[in-house]
Amino acid sequence: MIPIEVENRIAYYFFRMYLPDEVMFKIEDRLLPTCIWSEEEDLDHDELVRWAIEIIDQQLEDKQFR
């Protein structure tokens, strides 16, 4: 099994290198207000991930990566 820290670092690299800026901006627009106005321990991380995945899926629907 791959350690979670390694998976997170790979995901972070992919997220920053290959996700188009417009998608990043939409994710930030959706997640930041909730993150700013909530305490860390009150955040539902699973829900935040679901929101981001929905945006990514919508924006990259028919696109392929190099």
Structure confidence by residue, pLDDT tens digits, 33-62 = 999 998 888 899 999 999 999 999 999 887
The pLDDT of residue 63 is above 90: no
Instruction: Compute φ and ψ for 16, nearest 5 degrees.
Output: -80, -30
Distances (CA, A) of 38 to 14, 32, 34, 54, 62: 27, 10, 6, 21, 34
Q: pTM here?
A: 0.76
The pLDDT of residue 66 is above 70: no
The pLDDT of residue 1 is above 70: yes
Distances (CA, A) of 39 to 21, 29, 42, 44, 65: 27, 18, 5, 10, 36
pLDDT in tens, 7-32: 999 999 988 888 889 999 999 999 99
Report the pLDDT value the prediction gives residue 8, as an integer from 0 to 100: 93
